[in-house]
Amino acid sequence: MKLPDLMDLVVQRGAVHGLSLHARRPALAQLQGEHRSAQRGRGLEFEEVRPYAAGDDARTIDWRVTARRGKPHTKLFREERERPVWIVADLHPGLFFGSRRQFKSALLLHAAALLGWVAALGGDRVGAVISDGSAAPRILPGRTREAGVLPMLQALVECQPRAPGTPVQTGLQAALTTLRPLLQPGSLVLLLSDFTGLDTGVEDILAGATAQNDCRLLWITDPLERSGLPAGTHRVGLPERLWWMDGRGSRSAWQAAWGRREQALTALATRLNLPLVRLDTSDALPGRLISLLKEPTWAA
């Protein structure tokens, strides 16, 4: 399996034509270049007042107009086209693993590159927080177009694991802790991880970060993690720390552990109302991610 280099990630730009991370809009709004929202966030300018409708944020009610007209009215805001998009990469040594087309780390890099190009070519500012588990996470400040994407791609290539290693349980929380003070209301956070470090601390930070921002979870997986080892005796582990394992005998416990991990992540996404997308090493990118980006429920 090949480790991605910078050129592999740069060429992802050619696959993003017509894709967008923004909500689908009516044809008239697209022609006018505007997007209306009843929720106030970063980069939103007041546009007009209209009668309150079910589902509107109560914080946007215009009390003066409501008092004057005798019926609830809410403020509408026009969304700024340039939006902060943060790509968070949990790139720990445990991702140097793959039983199909690619390493999990390579899948993460390709997905991050594609998402970065989609955001940048859509007019958004792209920034990144990258944690490799060995030091403080790297911060790439948000910038527009190539100035935002290319430094991120270079950092991803430099930070990717190049040898097997023990998964770092604290890398995900460190990345999110680093990101939190950088967020401005209205940002989009794309979190790429295999979520081996999922715990209550991660959930608490995510809950705070998503209160005024949009967050989407991209789960990096491999088929062997789900199914367990095939029948037979296999040598597993890390260099200098290898042992023999019986595939058939270990499969039940293996699959049960995976089920608990899957249930925990799914429950977290449900509690926080976060879109959760699984990207598997058996997937062919960019085709898999492109098909997801074309789904209104995920691109909204």
Q: Which fold, 6-13+86-299?
A: Rossmann fold (3.40.50)
pLDDT digits (tens, 9 = 90+) for 106-129: 999 999 999 999 999 988 999 999
- Record the pTM: 0.77
Residue 177's pLDDT is 94
Token pair in block for residue 80: 């700024």
Calpha distance 289→114 (Å, rounded): 8
Question: Residue 297's pLDDT band (boundaries 50, 70, 90)?
Answer: low
pLDDT of residue 258: 85
Averaged confidence pLDDT in the chain: 83
Nearest residue to 151 (alpha-carbon basis) of 291, 47, 43, 6: 6
Query: Residues 174-216: pLDDT tens digits?
Result: 999 999 999 988 899 999 999 988 888 899 999 998 888 999 9
In terms of pLDDT, which residue wins out, 131 or 256? 131
- Region 76-103 average pLDDT: 84
Q: Where are the domains of the chain?
A: 6-13+86-299, 33-79
